Amino acid sequence: MNIANIPNKVITFLKEVRMEMRKVNWPTKEETIKYTLIVIGISVVVAIFLGGFDILFTTLLERFVI
């Protein structure tokens, strides 16, 4: 590896990154809001589900084991 080539390789890499970033299909504001709300909704549902199991198992352990 030639140390003199490193700046040229970095510049080439950054140019290629810039070209690829132009190809990205960025979501619209509405899509971003919609997907964010979906993620938050699923997270709340999973949290309630796991919390319910936690309460159930805690109650069963207190009643029958402890």
CB contact burial 50-63 (16+ within 10 A = b; e otherwise): eeeeeeeeeeeeee
User: What's the domain count of the chain?
Assistant: 1
pLDDT at 62: 92
* Number of Cα atoms under 13 Å in the Cβ half of residue 18: 6
- pLDDT at site 1: 63
pTM of the model: 0.65
25 touches 17 (CB < 8 A): no
Domain range for residue 13?
A: 3-64
Per-residue pLDDT of the chain (66 residues; tens, 9 = 90+): 678 788 899 999 999 999 999 999 999 999 999 999 999 999 999 999 999 999 999 999 999 887
